[in-house]
Structure 1
Amino acid sequence: MRRTTFHRASLATATLLLLAGCGSQGGGGDKGSGAVSPSPTASPTASPSASATPSATPSTGTGAGGSSAGCTPVTSELTAADRGRTYCLAKDGTVRITLTGTEQRPWTKITAGGDTTALKPMNYGIMLRGGDAGAAYQAVGAGTVTLTSTRPLCAQPTAPGQVSCKAIEEWHVTVRVS
């Protein structure tokens, strides 16, 4: 009887193919950013655009006020597409966050870090689907707060023998209250 040996090259090739397919799931009804984020960096940067230009005039809608250098006034609800940006919020202004996920890739509860006395949690007021995360905050004092949430980068396997990964997608924004 002949004994078969599993070659290391075959194992390495199979591993690379399995890992390459982890983040390439399409569709699925996920209304998030639709893109797989790269590995986190030490200092996230926002790309400049016309909509990210701070203005000195108060905005309307969510109660956000003027801005300070390097941040964008909050003018509407924040989503997964706003990841890594810095926003300005005037005292008594509000900020709402909605992260759309799926049952297979759910977002964790949005948490606040930093000077948490600057933002007071409010009633979000909307029923969320499974996998989504939402929060609302009112600016009550000066300070800088980081809002964060995470979710699995790959869907969990539903049957034995399916590919799984331990990668995590991170979402965060910085809110400066003045």
Structure 2
Amino acid sequence: MRRTTPLALAATALLLAGCGTHTSSTASRKVSPAPGNQAPVCRNQVRLTAADNGRTVCVAKGGEVRLGLTGTKDRPWKPVTVTGGALTAVNSGFVIRPGDAEAAYRAAAPGTGKLASSRPMCAQPTAPGQMACKGIQDWTVTVTVKS
């Protein structure tokens, strides 16, 4: 007769617990619904933050997208860029703190636009002899505009 040790049982349980729970990063960002579900709702107002990195959002034509990326003087966000013809820049107001990036866009035409910014991963050295960090934190959001 063969005996199973508690360690072998624990390893098997952990292995089985992980089965079927992996999702790819592209699967978690899908906007299209599963078959039989309703289409995603396009909103008139969307507010984005750094936590929305990698997302795809839908905005109704004529709606507005506003975003605020909170940075620091040592790790500032670059100004937000937009590509594609679906969004046009509007006045976002004032940036109060150094390092922040604020932007606002009107959903001008059906299509897709991509918003992007970046900032250093760590503060740059302020004194001779300190180590430098060359890492960059990217931020992107895809905006789909529908009429």
Runs of 4+ in 1 over 6 A off after TM superposition: 52-55
Q: Secondary structure at the match of 2:132?
A: coil
Q: Could you say which residue in structure 1 is the equivalent of 2:51?
A: 81
Match of 1:109 in 2: 79
**Do the aligned residues in 2 keep the contact of 1:45 with 1:84 (CA within 8 Å)?**
no
Structure 1 residue 165 displacement after superposition: 1.4
Distance (Å, rounded) in 2 between the aligned partners of 1:83 and 1:125: 22
What is the rounded CA distance, in whole Å, between the counterparts of 1:75 and 1:146 in structure 2? Answer: 17
The 2-side partners of 1:176 and 1:89 are apart by 6
SS in 2 for 1:103: coil
CA separation of 1:139/1:76 partners in 2, compared to 1, >3 Å: closer, same or farther? closer
Residues 8-58 of structure 1: per-residue CA shift (max 9 Å, x gap): xxxxxxxxxxxxxxxxxxxxxxxxxxxxxxxxxxx953737xxx897969x
Name the SS of the counterpart of 1:96 in structure 2: strand
Matched position secondary structure for 1:146: strand
The runs of 5 or more residues in structure 2 that have no matched partner are: 1-23
Q: Does 1:141 align with 2:122?
A: no
Structure 1 position 66 matched with structure 2 position 47: no
Measure the CA separation in 1 of the matches of 2:52 and 2:131.
Answer: 30
Q: Which amino acid aligns with 2:26?
A: T
Aligned equivalent of 2:26 = 45
Q: 1:92 to 1:75 in 2, by over 3 A?
A: closer
Aligned 8 A contact 1:46 1:84 in 2: no
> Residues 44 and 148 (structure 1 numbering): CA distance in 2 closer, same or farther, change over 3 Å?
farther
Deviation at 1:125, TM superposition (A): 1.4
- Determine the structure 2 residue equivalent to 1:160: 128
Letter in 2 for 1:175: V
SS in 2 for 1:121: strand
Measure, in 2, the Cα distance between the counterparts of 1:97 and 1:145. 14
Corresponding pairs, count: 119
Q: 1:45 to 1:94 in 2, by over 3 A?
A: same
Code of the aligned partner of 1:47? S
State the TM-score, normalizing by the size of structure 2. Answer: 0.71
Greater share of strand residues, 1 or 2? 2
CA contact (8 A) 1:79 1:97 kept: yes
* 8 Å CA contact retained: 2:95, 2:101: no
Q: Residue type of the partner of 1:86?
A: T
Give the whole-Å Cα distance in 2 for the aligned partners of 1:111 and 1:133: 11
Distance 2:44 2:55 in 1: 11
